[in-house]
Amino acid sequence: MIRTHIQTHELGLVFRRGDLRRVLEPGSWFVPEQWLPQTQVKRVDTLDTRFAHPRLDALLEAPELRDRLLVVDLDEDQRALVWRDGRLFDFVGAGRFAYWKAPYTLKVETFRVTDGEFQHERQDAVLAFPAARAQLQTVDVEPHECLLVRRGGALVGTRGPGRHVFWSRGALITWKSIDLREQIADVGGQEIMTADKVTLRLNLVVSWRIVAPELATGVVDSAANAVYREAQLALRAAVGGRELERLLADKADVANEIRAAVAARAEAFGVSVVAVGIRDIVLPGDMKTLLNQVIEAQKQAEANLIRRREETAAARSQANTARLLAENPVLLRMKELEAVESILKGAQATFVLGSGDLAQQVKGLVAGRE
């Protein structure tokens, strides 16, 4: 007899002619010497938790060994998380795996990758596990974004802000993030001819945002390009149907008309038009000179009209004053005194007031002095 010792947290697997014959508990055991050429005792450490052996399937046929193991058997579309004493120990895919039931407490969670999205209450702990990161893909969605999730090309739903995790399995699950913030389409350098054959260069600004992500990605290839194209066509239609003078006078009406046309079309591909404005209208050089001359002539005519109006008002006021003075001699006398006071202001003068004509009194005063 040959003595062999199995340590604590070990098991001895006794093989005879390659077949498992017995499982030895921890302790000392004796093996008959005559068995040695055909008998092997292999020790396995149960602290390793996972039991790996090239002939695992055959060994599991032995009840005394299988009863000591937790067997995880997974299909091609299955994945499993193995927790040991509450901590993630292993992440396995398709196949058969065995774990020692003692001395740890084990828990196995099984998932199907065909579900597309991976959800778990301890998601961050799973993502920190290297083997799990190889099987999962993480997408972080910002507060201003929306995530469209498709399976095999078909839309299966949308996801809001936060972290979302998907199974990596070829191109079965795909996703696309959509920006929901307000955006600007700058339609610049558009040369358009008006109804009276004047070529202009205009710059248009369109504010827009996506309100239906499914339509914005399913109806058009690019919502931004679609908005630009529709704004360009609406601008040409609005300007081409107006004469230059009307266009310059009604820029706000033109912007409203363009907004209504773009909004009606943009609604079909999930876009809301917030605002439209004509930023610049650039005239040809000769047309700019002519317009300046017209404006100068208009302003000159307005200035002449105002001047004539003021002169007429002044003449009318003088006529009214003359009539009042003619009808009121006392008022005329007071005006004469005010005139004399204004003339002699700052000079030493002697005033003689009495009855009679003022001119005669002045003459008499001068003659007396002489």
- Other C-beta atoms closer than 10 Å to the C-beta of 331 total 13
pTM of the model: 0.64
Q: CATH: 3.90.780.10, 3.30.479.30, 3.40.50.11540, 3.30.40.10. Which one for 183-283? A: 3.30.479.30
| Higher-scoring residue by pLDDT: 230, 196 | 230
- Domain residue spans in the chain? 116-181, 183-283, 284-325, 328-370
Mean pLDDT for the chain overall: 85
166-210: pLDDT as tens digits: 988 756 788 899 999 999 999 988 888 888 888 888 999 999 999
**How high is the pLDDT of residue 352?**
57
**How high is the pLDDT of residue 29?**
84
**How high is the pLDDT of residue 287?**
60
- The residue-averaged pLDDT of 97-113 equals 94
List, in order, residues 6 or more apart from 207 with CB less than 8 Å away. Answer: 182, 183, 184, 185, 273, 274, 275, 276
From 65-74, 265-274, 346-355, the region with the lowest mean pLDDT: 346-355
pLDDT above 70 coverage of the chain, percent: 86
Q: Is the pLDDT of residue 38 over 80?
A: no
Question: Looking only at Cα atoms, what is the longest distance across the chain?
Answer: 179
**How high is the pLDDT of residue 304?**
81
Q: Is the pLDDT of residue 264 over 90?
A: yes
**How high is the pLDDT of residue 355?**
59
From 276-290, 297-311, 348-362, the region with the lowest mean pLDDT: 348-362
40-82: pLDDT as tens digits: 888 999 999 999 988 999 999 999 999 999 999 999 989 999 9
314-339: pLDDT as tens digits: 888 888 877 877 777 777 777 777 77
